[in-house]
Amino acid sequence: MFHWDVDFTSLTKNIYKMKLVSYKTEDKEHLGIYANGHIYNLNSCDKLIPDNMNAFLEGGEPLMERAKKVNQEILDGSLSPKEEVFYELLAPVPHPTSCRDGYAFRQHVAAARRNRKVDMIAEFDQYPIFYFTNHNAIQGPGEIECMPDHFQKLDFELEVAVVIGKKGRNIKAAEADEYIAGYTIMNDMSARTLQMEEMLLNLGPAKGKDFSTVIGPWLVTPDELEQYKVAAKENHVGNAYNLKMTCKVNGIEVSSGNMADMDWTFAEIIERCAYGVDILPGDVIGSGTVGTGCFLELNGTGLLNDPNYKVQWLQAGDHVEMEITGLGALSNNITKVDTDFSILALKK
């Protein structure tokens, strides 16, 4: 049993409403809250609260209110439960019911297309899109194990994600924010050689994405972000937030953006997701990559401006840390599986 070396104090300089975490002790998963620099087990504080995130989210608003009450009692000192000491921090939603990823930042899309010497696509401004990725490949802070083929242009993608808190269908954007249980950081890991290979056939991304999607370190309830709320972009509907987004690789900042730069809001993305189909508690929906938020874009821009630009991709042993205002910091170490098995080598 262990816990990741997370500097909780530096990440929580403001007073927030509630942070939900999933963690493991003695090979058993639990649901907790982070408060006053510690993690506390929610079920130990209120037996009516389930001890796992999925069951908690399925319980809807009544359980959320019970958890907020526990959180407030801990913060004001009227409740003093035993804090967890030895634990492994997991993805806040370790077993999502599904995982979608959007395409919400125009800056990223325009730069990527410019770097490929193609015009900006007009359809981007007409409707939000998303793809499904592997919800069984969700993980949290810690090691990201990659196969040899993943290291053929291995990339990070700096994003925000929401988790759905109640079931809905055919939801209008004006009401869609009510379905969000919380926000978290997302690193949509990408193996670019695999991704580009399969997308030549106009299908995907699939194998280029489904080995790891990282979320964490916790799930932040929407009321925590009220102080950062800003107006959505012109002709758009839904909540928007002024949250600085950065990514460092081996301590060097390589990416910087802001959640306020999302052109399509999560409310609008949810409206499209829920058209003719149920969205469920525990669904994870990513924003898509912020401008400058991946090496694919950074390398392309660099080479466009300087043919001698030195491209960069993630390597075994690299440390990746993403930080977003109000959402904390998500840290991962890249490791290589000891094998020579390659699906790229199986091409006929």
Cβ-based neighbour number of residue 206 at 10 Å = 15
Cα 107 to Cα 311: distance, rounded to the nearest angstrom: 20
What average pLDDT is seen over the chain? 94
**Strand ranges, E, within 42-174:** 88-89, 98-102, 130-132, 138-139, 142-146, 154-155, 158-164, 168-169
Positive or negative, the CA dihedral 134, 51, 182, 277 is positive
Q: What is the pLDDT of residue 17?
A: 81
> In which band, very low, low, confident or very high, does the pLDDT at 220 lie, cut at 50, 70 and 90?
very high
Q: What is the pLDDT of residue 10?
A: 39
Query: Could you tell me what percent of the chain has a pLDDT over 70?
Result: 95
Map residue 348 onto helix, strand or coil: coil
pLDDT over threshold 50, residue 11: no
pLDDT at 123: 95
Q: Is the dihedral of CA 79, 85, 90, 95 positive or negative?
A: negative
pLDDT in tens, 16-37: 489 999 999 999 999 999 998 8
C-alpha span between 39 and 51 (Å, rounded): 13
Q: What does DSSP assign to residue 234?
A: T
Backbone dihedral angles phi then psi of residue 252, each to the nearest 5 degrees: -105, 125
* pLDDT value at residue 85: 95
pLDDT of residue 3: 46
The pLDDT of residue 124 is above 50: yes
Give CA angle at 244 (214, 64), nearest 5°: 60
Predicted confidence band at 108 (pLDDT cuts at 50, 70, 90)?
A: very high
Q: Parallel, antiparallel, or unpaired: how do β-strands 158-164 and 130-132 relate?
A: unpaired
Distance from C-alpha of 134 to C-alpha of 96, rounded to nearest angstrom? 10
pTM for the model? 0.94
